[in-house]
Amino acid sequence: MKQLKILSFLVVFALIAAACQGATPTAAPTTDPALILTAAAQTAAVRLTQMVALTPSATPTSTTPTPDLAQTAAASTIAAQLTATAAASSPTPTPTVTATAPAASTGGVDRAEFVSETIPDGTVFAPGAVFKKTWKLKNAGTSTWTTQYALVFVQGDRLNAPDRVMLTKNVLPGETVDIAVDLTAPTVAKGFRAYFKMINAAGVFFNDSVYVDIVVSAGTGTPTVTGTPGTPTPSLTPTATSAGFTVSNATMVGDTQVYSGTCPHTLTFTARFTANTPGQITYVLKAESSTPGFTFSLPPATTMNAVTGENVLQFFLEMKSNVVGSIALHITAPVDVTSSQANFSVTCAP
């Protein structure tokens, strides 16, 4: 700015000087006034350039603005208020809920309450008789019994019981279920008892147990054949009734009708009959032979408790010599009914 002022002053000075010269009555100038002005301007420019060169230039420095503490504090307050407002207006994310499939067991307390049973305690069976024991159990706990629950043999006389009987449906607390187990009477004449417990899906046993108690009759051991013919088999009575107790569908079947081989040989016979209600019955075996000289040694009359539905008995006859014959089950009380007969032929190797 200072140099511009000096330049402007020189230009003005040159113009004034030129004007004064024009006012003096002198001889006609020999130099063009425009040239004088031009020279003056050039002189001023040269002088200005010399002055600028001789004047030291100040090194520009960058100035750092001094912060205003009051403004800074106000800005911080406003920023904090904006942050709080944004947080209040932004919705809180809702957690995602994932549905989980129900477990095999609902958990809770496992309890089984006995309701009823078939095959009353002390029922008499022939040696090797096949029968079915059924318990009705109530879910007295707080857990649901699933199809992963089972009734398991735990101790006592096994009676050819399976390892476990799985439930076929879920049983809710308070509901009941029938569980049937196929069993076989031993061949020794005495009493037998087998204990069973429910087990849950985790393999934990209930505290409650149930049992089956039977007696194998001494009068139904293994009879032998010695040689004289028996009496003819009585005619069949398909159904008999006494005071509301009915027996029907009585049959006898042997494991084989013709045997040829080493003797002695034991034949197995299975008798079946249907009772309409539980009741006590008495029966005997009836046998005959067409082979001269043979006598059947058969057990005495036997009493047993029949169950509602099908009843199964098994008998074993040991054959020591050649024989052709037949055998049948004869129920004598409280009704009189005889099963179909099972024919057999035994040829002993010499």
For position 225, what pLDDT does the model report?
41
Band of residue 228 on the pLDDT scale cut at 50, 70, 90: very low
Convert the pLDDT of each residue in 85-96 to its tens digit.
444 444 444 443
- How far from 46 is each of 4, 9, 43, 53, 308, CA to CA, in Å? 13, 14, 5, 11, 142
CA distances from 197 to 110, 114, 132, 155, 211 (A): 11, 11, 17, 9, 9
- Domain ranges, ordered by start, for the chain: 112-218, 222-348
Q: Which CATH code is given to the segment(s) 222-348?
A: 2.60.40.10
Q: CB–CB of 145/171 below 8 Å?
A: yes
Distance CA 112, CA 208 (A): 6
Q: Is the pLDDT of residue 309 over 90?
A: no
Alpha-carbon gap, residue 254 to 249, rounded angstroms = 16
The span from the first CA to the last CA of the chain, in angstroms, equals: 153
The contacts of residue 61 (CB under 8 Å, 6+ apart) are: none
pLDDT for residue 50 = 58
At residue 297, the pLDDT reads: 82
**Confidence at residue 113, expressed as pLDDT on a 0 to 100 scale:** 94
| pTM score, whole prediction | 0.40
Least confidently predicted of 8-12, 225-229, 255-259, 324-328: 225-229
At a CB cut-off of 8 Å and minimum separation 6, what does 218 contact?
189
Residue 202's pLDDT band (cuts 50, 70, 90):
very high
Higher pLDDT, 293 or 97: 293
Q: What is the pLDDT of residue 35?
A: 56
Q: CATH classification of 112-218 is 2.60.40.10, yes or no?
A: yes
pLDDT at residue 332 greater than cutoff 60: yes
pLDDT at residue 101 in the model? 36
The token pair at 123 is 């029922």
Q: Report CA-CA distances (Å) from 144 to 136, 148, 178, 200.
A: 16, 11, 16, 10
Contact of 251 with 340, CB cutoff 8 Å: yes
Q: Which of 159-163, 252-256, 291-295 has the highest mean pLDDT?
A: 159-163
Span 112-166, pLDDT tens digits: 999 999 888 888 888 888 889 999 999 999 999 999 999 999 988 999 999 899 9
Is-same-fold flag (112-218; 222-348)?
yes
Question: Which residue carries 């031993």 as its tokens?
Answer: 186
Average pLDDT score, the chain: 74
- The residue among 39 and 98 whose pLDDT is bigger is 39
Over residues 290-306, the mean pLDDT reads 85
Is the CB of residue 318 less than 8 Å from the CB of residue 265?
Answer: yes
Using alpha carbons, list the distances in angstroms from residue 51 to 4, 7, 58, 237: 11, 11, 15, 155
